[in-house]
Structure 1
Amino acid sequence: MKKSLILILTALLLVLAGCGQSASTSSNTSGSASDASGAAAPEEKKSTEMTTIKVASLPAPMDAILLLVKPLLVEDGINLEIVEMSDNIQPNDALANKEVDANFFQHVPYAEAYNEARGSKIVPIQPVYNALYAGYSSKHKSIEELPDGAIVVIPNDPPNIAHSLLLLEQNDLIELKEGAGIKAGLQDITSNPKNLEFKEVDLLTLNRMMDDADLVTMYPAYAKPLGLSAKKDALIVEKDMEAFAITLMAREDNKNDPALLKLAERMRGPEVVKFLEEEYTDTYPAF
């Protein structure tokens, strides 16, 4: 009788122990599932917010360079919005009025002249490329063929008037007053042996004047649409005038903006160097 009772009690204890273990396992499993689904701290989501910067520009190669670096800036969390303008006044007006964050179309002397005239504070961030300024003709095959009294078409803004006169002086067509430099004007011509006659027009209309002049001075951006190259077709070409490098500009109040500094970094990168060397051979990097 005692043996039977002992066996029954032992069996009962085993059953209860098994149930307890099962409940504990179930509870642990349930707890683990809860931790995996809800109780565990959620992973932080990576921010996908982009910083947008607006840059005013003119047609190629300026806008082409911006388009080149645009996808690279996405990797830096920056959305580049390119605002293409139709003349060479609008980009500075837009920048001065804070309608854009930067512009890319001009050299430092041009920006300085604008500042003096408008009381603005446009400043350089990054020189990007030098463009071979040159004189072209559809009437003459060499500079020696220029007749007495030849008509020379030049831009009508003071910095590019100076650029044109320096180009002519470098090629022995005129002489300028000593020290005139990048501020030179027509009044600074001290010698003009061919009696050149100067006609000033808007920078963006220079390439339309080829049939009306003996010589037209212009940048590669305006010569290329005519199929002209400074190295192959120009009668005269400038020699190392790096003061006129085409430069990324901002304002004094935002020149240290991190997004603009990253843009400047991308614009002096190897992709831009390769583009200039392969696509715009009348230019060379200014960095």
Structure 2
Amino acid sequence: MAQTASKKWLGIGLVVVVAIIALLIWNKQRQNHSSELVIGISPSFAHPLQVAADEAKQQGLNVKLVEFSDWNTPNITLNHGDIDANFFQHQPFLDNAIKETGFKLKSFAAGAASHVGLYSKKYKSFDELPNGATVAIPNDPVNQGRALLLLQQAKLIELKDSNNHLSALKDITANPKNLKFTEVEGPQTARAIDDVDLAFGYPHYLRLAKTTDPESALLFDDNTNKRYAILFVVRDDYQDKDNKLQKFVEIYQNSPKVKAALDSDFGPTLWFPGWK
């Protein structure tokens, strides 16, 4: 009888021990999750950010990168509080998004800025473009303005205000070649290049899509200001607990491995630091 009772208590003891171990494991996972920094990103920026995340992990900081295929969901998700920050947009885009949605978002820090170009797989110069040539440009107000400024730099169009970075198609005052514009979502300009005569393009998206050599633009923009640097964006009420995001930003901005990844993805001459 005593032996049976002993076995019973042993069994109960084992159950309690297993439960305690399970509770400790669950609590550890919960703590790890709560200390995890979650950043929403565009796939075109994934490689350098993953390099930074790998370095952060070696320093005890867990960073989860969540990829979004469009330019609307990252801000919706951030505003809802499902992620800590996002990294896909520059200041003019953020300003316009806030104006259109009323979201309470702000810039936390700057990342890399890149040049943009005009690309063609059919023609080797602007002079070869035929009358009525088709041109792919972004459909959002900010990046469309950037594309039109570049087309003006190429002397293919003239704009009402030559310095307005928010110019729209309605602001074109001269179009000698009678260019026909195809408006697509910004990330899709890299794909549209196969279907048009000329396309506005981002080197990193072109490298990701593998549709053409990012270095092969007929013209790159001459803009070296940091207006278009990609930003780490957070909610207005974001509290950087334990300086997690600040630590990650410092790794991104200072790591030689991240610089090498940026050189690889953009091209060494096609990006520059937006934080200096």
TM-score by shorter chain over 0.5: yes
Aligned to 1:112: 95
- What is the one-letter code of the residue matched to 2:218? L
Distance (Å, rounded) in 2 between the aligned partners of 1:210 and 1:122:
33
1:232-282 alpha-carbon deviations (Å, 9 max, x no partner): x11121112531112221121116552111122111113222322344313
- 2:248 equivalent among 263, 271, 281: 263
Task: Report if the CA contact (8 A) 2:36-2:61 is conserved.
Answer: yes
Deviation at 1:202, TM superposition (A): 1.5
1:234-253 → structure 2 map (5 Å cutoff): 234-241=217-224, 242-253=226-237
Paired residues in the alignment total 239
- Residue number among 47, 52, 66 corresponding to 1:83 in the alignment: 66
| Cα pair distance change 1:151/1:96, threshold 3 Å | same
Q: Retained in 1: the 8 A contact 2:187–2:205?
A: yes
Structure 1 residues 123, 179: CA separation in 2 closer, same or farther (over 3 Å shift)? farther
Which of the two has higher C-alpha Rg? Answer: 1
- The alignment status of 1:160 with 2:143, answered yes or no, reads yes
Structure 2-normalised TM-score? 0.79
- Secondary structure of 1:111 counterpart: helix
| Secondary structure, aligned partner of 2:36 | strand
**CA RMSD, 1 decimal:** 2.2
Mapped pair 1:254 → 2:242 = no
CA contact (8 A) 1:277 1:284 kept: no
Structure 1 residues not aligned, in runs of 5+: 1-46
Secondary structure of 1:87's match? coil
Q: After TM superposition, give the deviation of residue 181 of structure 1 in Å.
A: 1.9
Which of 23, 44, 66 pairs up with 2:49?
Answer: 66
Contact 2:190 2:206 in 1 (8 A): yes
Contact 1:176 1:191 in 2 (8 A): yes
Query: 2:176 maps to which residue?
Result: 193
What is the match of residue 175 of structure 1? 158
- C-alpha distance in 2 between matches for 1:77 and 1:266: 13
- TM-score normalised per structure 1: 0.76
When structure 1 is superposed on structure 2, of 149-158 and 206-215 the one drifting more is 206-215
1:138 is displaced (CA, Å) by: 1.6
CA contact 2:194–2:211 (8 Å) conserved in 1: no
Q: Which SS does the other structure have where 2:148 is aligned?
A: helix
For residues 98-147 of structure 1, give each alpha carbon's deviation from its aligned partner in whole angstroms, at most 9, with x where no partner exists: 11000111111111111111101222222211222111112111111111
Secondary structure of 2:145's partner? helix
Distance 1:211 1:243, change over 3 A: same
Secondary structure at the aligned position of 1:113 is classed as: helix
Using the TM superposition, name which of 238-247 and 69-78 deviates more.
69-78
What's 2:195 paired with?
212
Q: Secondary structure at the match of 1:66?
A: helix
Q: Helix, strand or coil for the counterpart of 2:194? A: helix
The answer to whether the aligner puts 1:226 opposite 2:210 as a matched pair is: yes
- The change in CA–CA distance for 1:279 and 1:118 in structure 2 (over 3 A counts) is closer
- SS of the equivalent of 1:135 reads strand
Amino acid in the other structure paired with 1:254: Y
